[in-house]
Amino acid sequence: MDEIVKEFLIESYENLDCLNRDLVALEKDPHAKETLASIFRTIHTIKGGSGFLGFGKLEAVAHVGENLLSKLRDGIITINPELASALLATVDAVRFMLGQIEITGQPGNRDFSSLIELLARLNDAKSTEAGSIPSPAPSQAVAVTATISPDQAPAVVTASPVTLPPTMKLPAAIVEPMARPAATVSVPLPPGAPASSSPPESAPTVHEPTESRASAVTDSTIRVDVALLDKLMTLVGELVLARNQVLQFTTQRVDSAFLATSQRLNLITTELQGSIMKTRMQPIGNVWGRLPRVVRDLATACGKQVRIEMEGKETELDKTIIEAIKDPLTHIVRNSVDHGIETPDVRSARGKPEEGCLKMRAYHEGGQVNIEINDDGGGIDCERVKQKALQGGLITREQASRMSDHEASRLIFLPGFSTAEKVTNISGRGVGMDVVKTNIDKIGGTVDLQSQPGKGTTLKIKIPLTLAIIPALIVTSGGDRFAIPQISLMELVRLEGEQARQQIEFIHGAAVYRLRGQLLPLAYLNRELNINGKSESELAMVSIVVLQADGHPFGLVVDEINDTEEIVVKPLSKQLKSVASFAGATIMGDGRVALILDVLGLAQRARVVTEARDRTLLENAAQARKTNDARQTLLLFDAGQGSRMAIPLSMVARLEVFPRSSVEYSGTQEVVRYRGQILPLIHVSKYVPAVGVSETSYDEEQSMQVVVVYAEQGRSVGLVVESIHDIVDETITVQRHARANGIFGSAVIQDRVTDLLDVQTIIRAADPSFYCGVSTTQLAA
């Protein structure tokens, strides 16, 4: 059957069920405006639908019904028993035709002219009092009701006695056959025929849709209260916990029957959990559905031409998450149209098609959902953003000068920033973007932004699939267990004995660990939570959980790492909402409660060096007025020929050493295979004129290459340097000079003049395509 017809049938059946209820309710309370309005709407919807789908006959019946109802609604006539039964008869007629449509695709050829006539007559008798309606009418009404299918009999039986004037006797013969099974139900009685003279035997028998067939369509879907689904979800959560408890027992026993049973329980629970989760899943298209309209209206208002493209509409997300991203998404889209995409004349002047394009893409990746919103507008003017932030006192001049374009564009997520924009009403993106970020943070998601001046802006949102049941790593600290959501987990490091003492180093009291050459700031869970665990010195080994908070890694030192487990996230009570270090609580296999760590909150609390930079900025902004002192962690290195250079450590993803022999070529580009990817290598010395090219020195003399891995937008490049000197945490004053491209400025670091490398300029010079999301084929070209 046609999908549209099916939908129509499902909807109409549901509406009819309401209608039966409403009509009966209306009879009890004839002035219930809401009920009347609801009845009217229902019939109107059916009329509209049937008209649209070309079911003329159905439309005709619904139409006269609607006319009558509109008079009722407007108070021209009031409901009386006769009207009520006529309306109920209409409902039955509609239901019959819907049944026919379901089976044959057509409303059937039964004649409803008598019903239509009756309705029309009732309609005309608008001004007459209910009692003055000619006497044949009641019998007609009865005759009509007799045409219905058997499942409706009870409704009529209750309605009929009310319908009939007291003087009219209701022959049992009518009521009875109606209550009988389908086979005996008769076709319409001749209009006006005396009710008593219509024994069912004399009427020709027609095969009508049976009850089960009539409801086949409605049976395929069912509307369920969301509260019930929530309850089911909670119960499944409990079941998962109980399952975990049972599984713990299996490790202690050797009863094979018990083992087999618990295995089965395990499987079924997992499957049940999956299915229940599915009931709560909705395609993201549900939220996107309204965006074209938003874009259209806004574009018209701004005098722009914008086309919206969507990809991955069917990507499914938990209902609660769908709800949570609704507003942020609308906001982003509005922003893109309002500020991102230029007016047609500007666009054509810039050599772009007049019609701007807004692309939305959603896809699953590693248990998360990614949503990308891309516009081909003007991009973010980083200088202007910096200016605005400076004016608003959100950043200092030093910060502004040091800031990379990417960092600058992220400034629009600062709360104060957007407000300033709003007040001055200067075009530039960022109105309320902080709200977008806050909302997405709230559901454990992240948002990142890439912008290219003149080319456009891409916002990338990563959000978890569901919030209710998540995989987590269980750790112990100070005798208590804590759960860490797996989504923020990167790796685990265990250091034993002597190794632990040597490899954890301290920079001005801050502990760091060299993880494959890169400095990983460490936070001690015991200390952060003020719990008495074993002191660091008495631990025979150190367990480091490497986590990432807002894209920045840090190590969390815990007493013990236990296991991974599926946990059910339960919210903390209101009294504990203020404790930012916990995201919730869960019940462990042994029935005890364990707290779930909020990795971001914890990282902020620990002031981990490479914590989310916009947050640091926020804090800095507050301090900026007091002290113009901004500390920065810098990586010092030698780019060749003894030149001292520095880059902010936050830009460094890793430090690696590759043997010279592992370097391969892709075209003329030097590359190495690195973590399953191809890492292009850029020799810093080639792009910094001051250093001078020293091609031979590393080719022949050095068998190893020191590479600073720089990653952005999921792509990495390796910066080849001569050697790494140090990592310093210093307050620096940058002196800008345009001496050379690729050098940002100089500063005195450790009592020596050090050049600050402009990494992005160098990468752009080496690989112009790095900052646009171009495909690999273009890259190679």
Residues at the interface with another protein (CB under 8 A): 238, 241, 480, 529-532, 570, 572-576, 578-579, 581-582, 585-587, 591-595
Distance in Å, CB of 581 to another protein, minimum: 6
Distance in Å, CB of 583 to another protein, minimum: 13
Minimum CB distance to another protein smaller for 174 or for 595 = 595
Q: Helices 56-73 & 33-53, crossing angle to 10 degrees?
A: 160
Q: 3-class SS at 267?
A: helix
Minimum CB distance to another protein smaller for 396 or for 581 = 581
Distance in Å, CB of 588 to another protein, minimum: 9
Minimum CB distance to another protein smaller for 281 or for 572 = 572
Report yes or no: 389 and 395 within 8 Å, Cβ to Cβ.
Answer: yes
Minimum CB distance to another protein smaller for 89 or for 557 = 557
- By CB atoms closer than 10 A (0-12, 13-18, 19+), residue 129 is exposed
Distance in Å, CB of 528 to another protein, minimum: 8
Minimum CB distance to another protein smaller for 155 or for 468 = 468
Minimum CB distance to another protein smaller for 331 or for 570 = 570
Nearest partner of 543 among 481, 597, 509, 500, judged by Cα: 500
Q: Name the pairing type of β-strands 446-452 and 743-749.
A: unpaired
DSSP 320-352: HHHHHHHHHHHHHHHHIIIIISPPHHHHHHTTS
Distance in Å, CB of 567 to another protein, minimum: 12
Q: Which residues pair with 475 in a beta bridge?
A: 482, 561
- Written as six digits, the tokens of 611 are 């914590």
Distance in Å, CB of 84 to another protein, minimum: 36
Distance in Å, CB of 560 to another protein, minimum: 16
Minimum CB distance to another protein smaller for 522 or for 568 = 568
Nearest partner of 375 among 415, 346, 314, 334, judged by Cα: 334
**What whole-number distance in Å separates Cα of residue 115 and Cα of residue 583?**
63
Return the residue matching tokens 């439309």.
59
Report yes or no: 558 and 599 within 8 Å, Cβ to Cβ.
Answer: no
Minimum CB distance to another protein smaller for 215 or for 562 = 562
Find the angle CA(651)-CA(653)-CA(658) to the nearest 5 degrees. 125
Distance in Å, CB of 479 to another protein, minimum: 9
**What whole-number distance in Å separates Cα of residue 649 and Cα of residue 635?**
5
Q: 3-class SS at 638?
A: strand
**What whole-number distance in Å separates Cα of residue 445 and Cα of residue 369?**
9
Q: Which residues contact 680 (CB under 8 A, 6 or more apart)?
A: 666, 669, 670, 671, 717, 718, 766, 767
| 697-703 contacts at long range (C-beta below 8 A, 24 or more positions apart) | 697/640, 697/641, 698/640, 698/660, 698/722, 699/660, 702/660, 703/659, 703/660, 703/661
Distance in Å, CB of 253 to another protein, minimum: 24
Distance in Å, CB of 250 to another protein, minimum: 21
Q: Name the pairing type of β-strands 356-365 and 306-311.
A: parallel
Minimum CB distance to another protein smaller for 432 or for 584 = 584
Minimum CB distance to another protein smaller for 447 or for 585 = 585
Distance in Å, CB of 238 to another protein, minimum: 5
Distance in Å, CB of 569 to another protein, minimum: 10
- Written as six digits, the tokens of 267 are 């499987």
Q: Which residues pair with 745 in a beta bridge?
A: 756
Minimum CB distance to another protein smaller for 173 or for 229 = 229
Minimum CB distance to another protein smaller for 518 or for 586 = 586
Distance in Å, CB of 244 to another protein, minimum: 12
Q: Which residues pair with 477 in a beta bridge?
A: 480
Q: 3-class SS at 408?
A: helix
Nearest partner of 448 among 612, 273, 268, judged by Cα: 612
- Written as six digits, the tokens of 634 are 């810098």
- Radius of gyration of the chain from Cα atoms? 36
Q: Which residues contact 649 (CB under 8 A, 6 or more apart)?
A: 519, 609, 610, 633, 634, 635, 727
Minimum CB distance to another protein smaller for 549 or for 655 = 549
Distance in Å, CB of 606 to another protein, minimum: 12
Distance in Å, CB of 242 to another protein, minimum: 8
- DSSP H helices, 29-112, are 33-53, 56-73, 81-104
- Written as six digits, the tokens of 247 are 């599984």
For residue 684, the Cα-to-chain-centroid distance in whole angstroms is 41
Minimum CB distance to another protein smaller for 187 or for 579 = 579
Distance in Å, CB of 481 to another protein, minimum: 8
- Written as six digits, the tokens of 758 are 């402009």
Report yes or no: 722 and 730 within 8 Å, Cβ to Cβ.
Answer: no
Residue 297 main-chain phi, psi, to 5 deg: -60, -45
Nearest partner of 91 among 123, 121, 120, 69, judged by Cα: 69
Minimum CB distance to another protein smaller for 510 or for 572 = 572
Minimum CB distance to another protein smaller for 44 or for 481 = 481
